[in-house]
Structure 1
Amino acid sequence: MGKSGNSLLTKLVVFLSLAVVALGNTNSGLRAFYLVQQWLGSYCDQRGTRCCYPPTGKPRPDFTIYGFWPYYNDGSFPYNCGDDNYDVARLKPLESRLRQAWPSFTCPQIGRKFWVHEWNKHGTCSKSSLGEIPYFQAALNLKSRANVLHALASAGIRPNNQFYSLKSIKRAITRSIGFHPWIECNHNSQGKSQLWQVTLCADRNGRKLINCPYIPKGRGSCASKIKFPSF
């Protein structure tokens, strides 16, 4: 084989090697999941936002799932990783749990289509680790383990329109659940900082809570004392 043949062979080997690496990264790129829970009292009371209850009516006071977001090894939060048109009928066995733990409060109310949106936008990026039903099951199971409202109540922090120190909120969640939370706040119509979202992380299989590999800065910053509004 001549020099040109050797050169071509070398290029082919390099190309195939890179292709294998790329495929490997695709399958192993998922590093963690971010389980984001929101306090509905703050969502419905935030400045400039209208809240629409689901068809089942106003739920009982609790933190509900805002999102279950995959996080990749390259430091990105990917989305829209496939062209799946999810059949929401597959979720029928989980629907009663989803209505309580993962409802939509956007206006206009989209009901069950919300879960289709969540799968298509975020769930499709976890397919190397979790399939369609396991994705939702994992989020529901983790939310049950990470009972934020119970963690706060155990420390005397309750949704009573009072102000609590941000440090005491973080400390209560950490002591009860065992992992440091990432807290985000929004502002009510009076411009007061209030507790909105609590984020904890899970391993790439969505089975157990872990320390978050990365805590984003500069989003939803909180005052030193924040309101915990009633709902």
Structure 2
Amino acid sequence: MEKASVSLTIKFLLLQCLFALSIAQDFDFFYFVQQWPGSYCDTKKSCCYPTTGKPAADFGIHGLWPNYKDGSYPSNCDPSNAYDESKIPDLISLMQQDWATLACPSNSGSAFWSHEWNKHGTCSESNLDQHGYFKAALNLKSKVDLLQILQSGGINPDGGSYSLSNIKSTISNAIGYDPWIECNSDADGNRQLYQIYLCVDTSGSDLIACPSFPRGKCAPNIQFPSF
């Protein structure tokens, strides 16, 4: 009985240590994902402008997503800490501008932000509370002007076809780190620039080299549609 008791105590202590480690470091980095609205809207599914009106022709935030180095990610980490718009009143107008929803039916954006916080933001609570999470994403958006970077390299949202390698190198040369490009298809099946992933440290403030990239690939040449 004594050996069994010691064994159970050791197992309990090990579980406590593992739990403490998981709390201390519950993810390795963030993906900061920006989306081109023209590529969202020209698909067969189409889009709806938010109730605040058509967003600007600029990349918009999709999300700030905690990830592990092995490519997996945590999600829905704390159901008890649901999205609460009363915690971010000073950010709403900027979120409407830089984090606009294009989902149908037309809405204010609250459902989109709620989804992002509940699924992804709650997994960053060890470093960022709700206000800090949304503020971090907005700060990153202001720090990295993807449209300006691309246009400075002669890559414009004019419906033209551009080299995927040139898009990547243009961004990499500007920010010092390689991005990951996600493509989708327009209503005619043409492959196009859809989302750009950058990697950020666990504080949500500084760009880093990506420890891993998502799966999937684009064509060697892709379109950059207008919006």
Question: Do the structures match in fold with TM over 0.5?
Answer: yes
Cα pair 2:35 2:194 within 8 Å, conserved? yes
1:1-150 residue pairs with structure 2 within 5 A? 4-46=1-43, 48-72=44-68, 75-83=71-79, 84-111=81-108, 112-150=110-148
What is the TM-score of this pair, normalised by structure 1? 0.92
Percent same amino acid at aligned positions? 48
CA RMSD of aligned residues (A): 1.4
SS in 1 for 2:28: strand
What do the CA deviations read for 1:79-99 (whole angstroms, capped 9, x no partner)?
111112322122210011101
> Which stretch of structure 1 is more off in the superposition, 125-134 or 70-79?
70-79
Unaligned runs of 5+ in 1: none
Alpha-carbon shift at residue 73 of structure 1 (Å): 5.3
Q: Which amino acid aligns with 2:5?
A: L
* CA distance in 1: counterparts of 2:134 and 2:49, whole angstroms: 21
Supply the distance in 1 between the matched residues of 2:107 and 2:6 (Cα, whole angstroms).
55
Letter of the structure 1 residue corresponding to residue 34 of structure 2:
Q
Give the partner amino acid of 2:129: G
Contact 1:29–1:74, Cα closer than 8 Å, also in 2: no
Question: What is the rounded CA distance, in whole Å, between the counterparts of 2:188 and 2:18 in structure 1?
Answer: 53
Post-superposition shift, 1:42? 0.6
Q: 1:63-84 CA deviation, whole Å, 9 max, x = no partner?
A: 0011111013564211111112
How many residue pairs get matched? 225
Point out the structure with max Rg over C-alpha.
Answer: 1
How far apart, in 1, do the equivalents of 2:111 and 2:193 lie?
Answer: 27
Please give the per-residue CA displacement for 1:83-137, whole angstroms capped at 9, x wherever unaligned. Answer: 1232212221001110111111100133223212211111111111111100001
Distance 2:59 2:154 in 1: 16
Using the TM superposition, give the Cα deviation of residue 19 of structure 1 relative to its aligned residue in structure 2, in angstroms. 1.6
- Residues 1:222 and 2:218 are matched in the alignment: yes
- Counterparts in 2 of 1:29 and 1:73: CA distance versus 1, 3 Å: farther
5+ long unaligned stretches in structure 2: none
